Structure 1
Amino acid sequence: MKADVTAAEALDVTPVVAEDIRIDRPTLHDVVVIRVRDMIIEGTLAAGSRIHEGQLGQQLGISRTPLREALKVLAREGLVDLVQGKGALVRKLTHKDVKDMLVVLSAMEDLAGKLACENASDSDIREVRRLHDAMMGYYAVRNRLPYYKLNQEIHSAFIRITGNEALSMVHTQLQARLKRIRFIGNEKPEHWDAAVADHEEMIAALEARDGPRLSRALSNHLAETWLRVADSI
């Protein structure tokens, strides 16, 4: 028998390891991706424009390496085109691009409305309500970017609680490509007000577990999105 047996080993007791409750800190890579993505969403980096790495890196206070890595991520999301000899360009969508993607999104969210009401747990519904209430707080003070981000989280939550991984995968890809387009849909106050009314109907339908009602609300919302953005593309 080894002489250096610990007390825990002698008693055949497994030591209890304290739960790791440390808060994850975003890496520089994460911060750069988020910042450049926000600049595209808000139009600071205009659709079709070339991203000058040196100038943008200086503006953000970073070297070209983390910026280039961030641009690769945004290219995979469909927000940036990496063109040999030209560098990174902010992707510019045509009317047809946008309408085609919104048509597909509408069909997916129509399906999601039915599945979400069938499959969501009570805690899932409470979480969507929490996101909705937080979003409404930003709407009350007209803070568009955080409002928009929570808005998109809500649409993703409707998809997630369906439990359908294939639906989630395709929806994520299309939603990423439409980030700037969805953001400009709320530029006019009357458009923003109408979008909020749509979301009020969505949360009411979900809490009632009324699948057909939620499907209609989601489909109508995306149809109205096209009308709100068509003249701005």
Structure 2
Amino acid sequence: MRALIIEGVLAPGVKLNERMLCETLGVSRTPLREAFKVLCAEGLIDIAPNRGATVTRMSETEIRETFELMGGLEALSGELACERITSAEVAEIKAIHYAMVACRLRNDLPGYYAHNREIHDRISLAARNSALREMYVLVNRRLQALRFRSNHRKQKWDTALADHEEMIKALELRDGAMMGAILRKHLLDKRDAVMAILQAEAAASDVSMASE
């Protein structure tokens, strides 16, 4: 169900129908409701008494501020990773990167995103700072669906891929300042891409309503 939310199958604001989800996922209501509790704790769904569960919809202000916070967390993770990462870890990240590039060539966005997410996660782990890691995981959970959407446009997808090429270089050079700057810009670019998508959707909705 987390994947369905991240990939936009279950869109923000959608009310979750327990019967349909049980049929789709092949589970009973008990494990489904346990999953609801986990996803609610992760900030992916909201549960209201007597109203059921809905996919969380963040306001534009929340989206903007959370991406800005995430940019700072990722920048710090990158700076520390450059100080503490091992050569073996860099090699592993490069291998994941090449697998991600292969997904891009196949236009496989879910596969691309899975590798993308793993790269960022490994950089966070390489920082070897448990307090930073805890905050990174908490904030990143709220942004997963939006980070996925930010690559829907080919130009933004290719820009993000170019950023990852630069991240690999910075890790190999152990250049913390370079890495921090790349990651901060990378997250702010995602913020801008998401905001542009949301604004375009709002404009299209206004036009549709006006024509009815």
Verify same fold: TM over 0.5: yes
1:160-203 C-alpha deviation (Å, 9 max, x unpaired):
10100011100101111101100110011111011101111111
The one-letter code matched in structure 2 to 1:151 is N
Structure 1 residue aligned with 2:161, among 196, 208, 228? Answer: 196
TM-score (norm 1): 0.82
How far apart, in 2, do the equivalents of 1:211 and 1:43 lie?
34
2:33 is the alignment partner of 1:68: yes
Matched with 2:100 is 135
2:62 is the alignment partner of 1:97: yes
TM-superposed CA distance for 1:232, in Å, is 2.7
Matched with 1:113 is 78
The one-letter code matched in structure 2 to 1:156 is D
Matched with 1:179 is 144
The one-letter code matched in structure 1 to 2:197 is S
Structure 1 stretches of at least 4 aligned residues deviating more than 4 Å after TM superposition = none
Structure 2 residue aligned with 1:208, among 161, 173, 198? Answer: 173
2:137 is the alignment partner of 1:160: no
1:65-88 C-alpha deviation (Å, 9 max, x unpaired):
121111111111110111111111
Other structure's SS at 2:185 match: helix
How large is the Cα RMSD of the aligned pairs? 1.1
TM-superposed CA distance for 1:138, in Å, is 0.9
Matched with 2:194 is 229
Looking at secondary structure, tell me which structure has more helix per residue. Answer: 2
Gaps of 5+ in 1: 1-35
How far apart, in 2, do the equivalents of 1:118 and 1:69 lie?
40
Gaps of 5+ in 2: 199-212
The one-letter code matched in structure 2 to 1:177 is R
How far apart, in 2, do the equivalents of 1:120 and 1:60 lie?
39
TM-superposed CA distance for 1:124, in Å, is 1.5
2:91 is the alignment partner of 1:126: yes
How far apart, in 2, do the equivalents of 1:112 and 1:70 lie?
30
1:1-36 C-alpha deviation (Å, 9 max, x unpaired):
xxxxxxxxxxxxxxxxxxxxxxxxxxxxxxxxxxx1
TM-score (norm 2): 0.90
The one-letter code matched in structure 2 to 1:142 is N
Higher relative contact order (CA 8 A, sep 6+): 2
Other structure's SS at 1:51 match: coil
1:134-177 C-alpha deviation (Å, 9 max, x unpaired):
11111111111121111111111111101000111001011111
How far apart, in 2, do the equivalents of 1:100 and 1:231 lie?
15
Structure 2 residue aligned with 1:59, among 15, 24, 35? Answer: 24
TM-superposed CA distance for 1:59, in Å, is 2.1
Structure 2 residue aligned with 1:145, among 107, 110, 132? Answer: 110
Identity of aligned residues (%): 38
How far apart, in 2, do the equivalents of 1:59 and 1:205 lie?
43
How far apart, in 2, do the equivalents of 1:69 and 1:139 lie?
35
The one-letter code matched in structure 2 to 1:69 is E
How far apart, in 2, do the equivalents of 1:168 and 1:131 lie?
20
How far apart, in 1, do the equivalents of 2:72 and 2:25 lie?
39
